[in-house]
Amino acid sequence: MHAAVIVFPGSNCDRDLAVAFERAGARVSMVWHKDTDLPQGVDVVGVPGGFSYGDYLRCGAIAANSPICRSVIAHADKGGYVLGVCNGFQILTETGILPGALLRNAGLKYVCKPVGLRVATADSVFSHGYEAGRTITVPIAHHDGNYFADTATLDRLEGEDRVAFTYTDNPNGSARDFAGILSENRRVLGMMPHPERMAEPLQGGTDGAALFSGLMGALERA
């Protein structure tokens, strides 16, 4: 399997994400934000955490208009798989690939700590490595992770089983405790917590590893 990890000025989790993909068995290409095309044969695109373009204007707003993001949008539109983590989730909402927006944390402070996540659905390539209802521990590190969408969108996400993860103790004010959501075709996941930072014992836990191993396994069987 071939994964591409996008690198923006200000990305700081691109290597972490690449290593998580590699440990799950993927071949990884690092792709610069000024590139106009993804490498040939890419199965999944990882949009990493960090502070792309210094978070100027809005978190992810400038990155969403970078040359490579046109190719990421085209990849998603064709049914390709995309994982956006933290700033990557913000970028995916700014591009319109995923609905809603990430606002300033309700407490108006940067929050960096492990949090409990409930696996809301196991019916996706990203979450099928977990049992629905299971609680896992994954770290967060963000200032603008407060997920917002109108009531109709929130109802649709819940009604279509597109909420991948919810917080067990909401750290940022996110609507209905949403921590990660899926696209309509379930091939794009955006989440604020960092599974790549909890993917091997040296990181203090391995609860994030099943996301990557499950994804790679599902793509190999596809």
Rounded Cα distance between 26 and 88, Å, is: 19
Segment holding 154, helix H or strand E: helix 151-159
Active site residues: 86, 194, 196
Give CA–CA dist 80/5, Å, rounded.
14
Distance CA 176, CA 167 (A): 9
Task: For CA atoms 93, 108, 162, 215, give the dihedral sign.
Answer: positive
Rg (C-alpha) for the chain, rounded Å, is 15
Residue type, 54: G
Q: Where does 4-101 have alpha helices with state H?
A: 14-23, 67-77, 87-95
